[in-house]
Amino acid sequence: MSDVEAAVTCFKEGFSCSQATLVTYGPKQGFDRETAIKIASTFGGGMGMSGETCGAVTGALMALGLKHDMTDPEAKANSLQRAKQFLDKFQGCNGSTICWNLRGCDLSTLEGKAYMKENKLNETICPKLVWSATEIMEQML
């Protein structure tokens, strides 16, 4: 199973988009699975179900950050540049990095949550976003 497939499987097993992405790449950067699950736990649904930055994006950015020594100014600059590259690629592939734009509903409202459930967005849109984020990560790491 590829990393991309592993991330989507993780998401379908009930982990958030952020957890699925970070859990796939965090351990490869020396970060254990359980800690990755805990750290990413509040980033799903566009950070705390607020509909802001997509959790697949935040998980990927956290994994990118693990790759570099942030005490080294050159490494920090490289990490920030790579984060921007990731964001540009994700937005280019998906049209946005914002959860409510990607899902077409505002998850911070009852109506948005109902829309998400009725339209099974966690089964249709979100796995594609996890796939996209992890596929981009695979190219970047």
Q: What is the mean pLDDT of each run of 10 residues along the chain (141 residues)?
A: 90 93 84 88 85 93 81 82 95 95 88 91 92 92 79
What pLDDT sits at residue 46? 83
Token pair for residue 74? 């050159």
Q: Cα separation of 3 and 129, whole Å?
A: 14
Specify the 3-state DSSP secondary structure of 71.
Answer: coil
Q: Cα separation of 48 and 52, whole Å?
A: 9
Distances from the Cα of 92 to the Cα of 51, 101, 136, 137, angstroms:
19, 14, 11, 14
What pLDDT sits at residue 113? 87
